[in-house]
Amino acid sequence: MPRANEPGRTVSSRLWDLLFAFDPDHTELSLADLVRRTGIPHATARRLTLELVEAGALERTGDNRFAIGLRLWRLGTLAPRAETLRSAAQPFVEDLYTALRQHVQLAVLQGDQAVIIERLSAVNAVGLTSQVGGHLPLHCSGVGKVLLSHNSPEFIDEVLAGRLRRFTPKTIVDPAELRRELASCRSTGTVVVKEELSEGAESVATRIVDGTGRVVAALSVVVAAGSIKLQAAVPSLVASGLGLSRSLGWRPGIPIRTS
């Protein structure tokens, strides 16, 4: 006999539970997978999943599995902080990459992470695992430090008070030292990170500012540790960053907000 449904749960929350069951390591899931990963009873999961397919949010693969649909991808394309920014940045990122032939990354802030919006990579450059759509920690990546340093004092306190994971022996996890770095980054607009996230990789990052003076993104170049290339990359990086900021409406004289 049918039992009452669990109270306090909305249809919407269940739908997003199902969708967020997909991740970079699981881009295709069967109905049983979805049931296991979400805990939703399978009759319910099935009904909702089929509705998602009908809406175009999911697609069925040949072998009775589900994947994120093209229609949902196109929706994501409309996110002002992602694809719109990405296309504005495209020529600058492109030129920077052509000039340096090193990894170039563009990232924005989401929660307590830096999310990679765009990424160009040379085949012969340092190996990196990060992907477009992937995320980097705020306290020990170039883009992360830029985004963190230009946020509100309360937010900085919150992040520094949290767990600062040590990725390599060189990762800076001392809050006092990090604060000094962030202050420096705030005044210069750029920051250098050496092997704090992965050994053998160094990066420089710079801020991207919009017409209202808000720091909306960070642009970085990643090179092999110890190579002379890092110093050579700084001027081009800064120039590209300023160019992109200008194309977003920023002009010299517009104060850069640090709220």
Partner DNA sequence: ATCACTTCATCCGTTCAACGGACAGGGAAG
Partner DNA sequence: CTTCCCTGTCCGTTGAACGGATGAAGTGAT
Q: Interface residues with a copy of itself (CB under 8 A)?
A: 10-13, 15-16, 19-20, 22-24, 27-28, 48, 51-52, 55-57, 59, 61, 67-84, 86-87, 90-91, 94, 98, 108, 110, 115, 120-121, 123, 131-133
> Which of 37, 65, 170, 229 touches DNA (CB under 7 A)?
65
Which segments of 3-152 does DSSP mark as H helices, in order?
A: 11-19, 31-38, 42-55, 70-76, 85-100, 142-149
3-state secondary structure of 41: coil
Alpha-carbon span 256 to 246, nearest angstrom: 13
**Count of all residues that appear for the chain in the document:** 259
* Part of the chain binding DNA (CB under 7 A), chosen from 33-41, 129-137, 185-193, 208-216: 33-41
Alpha-carbon span 172 to 220, nearest angstrom: 19
Q: How far is the CB of 117 from DNA (least distance, A)?
A: 28
Q: Which is nearer to a copy of itself, 32 or 70 (CB)?
A: 70
Judged by beta carbon distances under 5 to 8 A according to partner kind, the member of DNA, a copy of itself, none in contact with residue 123 is a copy of itself
Q: Which is nearer to a copy of itself, 110 or 231 (CB)?
A: 110
Judged by beta carbon distances under 5 to 8 A according to partner kind, the member of DNA, a copy of itself, none in contact with residue 42 is DNA
Count other Cβ atoms within 10 Å, centred on residue 43: 9
List the 190-194 sheet strands across, edge first.
135-137, 113-120, 103-110, 215-224, 201-209, 190-194
Q: 56, 70 in Cβ contact below 8 A?
A: yes
3-state secondary structure of 30: strand
Task: Compute φ and ψ for 30, nearest 5 degrees.
Answer: -85, 170
Count other Cβ atoms within 10 Å, centred on residue 4: 5
Q: How far is the CB of 231 from a copy of itself (least distance, A)?
A: 26
163 binding DNA? (CB under 7 A): no
* Part of the chain binding DNA (CB under 7 A), chosen from 20-28, 29-37, 87-95, 147-155: 29-37
> Which of 19, 48, 108, 242 touches DNA (CB under 7 A)?
48
* Part of the chain binding DNA (CB under 7 A), chosen from 25-33, 90-98, 115-123, 212-220: 25-33
Which spans of this chain sit near DNA (rule: CB under 7 A)?
1-12, 14, 30-32, 35, 40-44, 46-48, 64-65
